[in-house]
Chains A and B, each alone.
Chain A
Amino acid sequence: MVDEVFVYALSTCPWCRKTKQWFDDSRIAYDFVDVDKLPDDEQDAAADKAYELSGGRRFPVVVINGEVIVGYSPDKFLEHLKGWGGGS
């Protein structure tokens, strides 16, 4: 089963780096965007998307199969990963 994982991150945030590292170590493919590294004209749209999904301004915002998890939280990541027995 293939999990769809997307990480909204800030390059300045260690917990965003830890989140990506966790997916790397777990050998789970994911896409990500470092919002603050985007060209100026793209930053607002990406940030607004992350704010809308998470209901706040905190990073990382992790979307796993459509479910939104805010913060570095491996237990919650696992809960929503189908390939790991989580998800629905």
Chain B
Amino acid sequence: MSTDARKESLRYLFERVVTPLGYKFSPDEQLVDDLLEAEVQLEQDHGAPFCPCQGRTGVREEDMKIVCPCIPFHRAHFDAMRRCWCGLYVHLDVTDPDSLPQFPPDEV
């Protein structure tokens, strides 16, 4: 499957997951495209579409919690930021994603 085709299929699969959680793809189309491209590459190289902005440890139990969409495993933190860590998803009512700060969970 080509990278573009896989990007499209991830977009389709993940939209069904994040919508019931109150999230949508960021309105920043360029950011979304960059992140999905990175995820396709990570999936090819490491077996899963891991978050492009979080590091793997090699411990399966931990690494599976950063497979996109990782919202269910970081809900309170992401809800406080109104975005996920990498910014691929934002709360449904967000129109200006650049205004959303990125801060670690201990600052929630």
Contact = CB atoms under 8 A, between A and B. Distances in A.
Q: Touching in the complex, A and B, CB below 8 A?
A: yes
Interface of A: 10, 12-16, 35-36, 44, 47, 50-51, 54-59, 70-73
Contacts, number: 62
Interface string B59-71: 0001000100000
Q: Which of A15, A36, A57, A73 has its CB near the most chain B CB atoms (within 10 A)? A: A57
Interface residues of B, number: 24
Interface in B27-84: 31, 34-35, 38, 41-42, 52-58, 62, 66
A13 B68 CA distance: 14
Interface of B: 31, 34-35, 38, 41-42, 52-58, 62, 66, 85-87, 101-106
The B interface, classified by DSSP as helix, strand, loop or mixed, is loop
